[in-house]
Amino acid sequence: MYSRVVGYLRPVKTVEHGKTGRIQDAEGVPVLIPMKIAGIQRVSLIDYPGRIGATIFTQGCNFRCGYCHNAELVSPDQYGPLIEEDDIFAFLRKRAGKLEAVTVTGGEPTIQDDLAGFSAL
Ligand code: SF4
């Protein structure tokens, strides 16, 4: 399985490499900040060139482009319910051997605290 992150290079806040985020529980233990996943395209033939893939859409964007057509991923007042990471991984496990790639896009995936950890799994 291959994966890539689709996005433009731009300054973003520090991303912790690995599976811990920057918040802590009451005992000071780092707590994982899960990815905010707002949608998934279960099959895509265009998002990862030359491969059959799934596309994951993250919620949130630090830009406000005038031509944006993803208001439900960009404007908090239009946010819908999130999808649990476990549900995403369960889906990907079921499609193992059929899907060849996973594309993570948004919104803006690079503002997700656990993008590196999520992409490594
Ligand atoms: S999701 Fe919309 S606002 Fe954010 S970078 Fe893409 S086009 Fe611009």
| Tens-digit pLDDT profile for residues 8-49 | 433 333 333 334 455 677 888 777 678 999 999 999 999 999
**Contact in structure between 120 and 22 (CB atoms under 8 Å):** no
CA distances from 90 to 85, 98, 102 (A): 9, 14, 14
- pLDDT value of residue 30: 72
The confidence score (pLDDT) of residue 111 equals 92
Q: 56-78 pLDDT, tens per residue?
A: 999 999 999 999 999 999 999 99
Best mutation site among 5, 8, 63 for ligand 1, i.e. most ligand atoms within 8 A of its Cβ? Answer: 63
Structurally, the chain folds into a number of domains equal to 1
**Pairwise CA distance, residues 35 & 117, whole Å:** 9
Check pocket membership of 69 for ligand 1, CB cut-off 6 A.
no
Residue 2 is predicted with a pLDDT of 53
Domain encompassing residue 51: 2-120
Contacts of 90 (CB under 8 A, 6+ apart): none
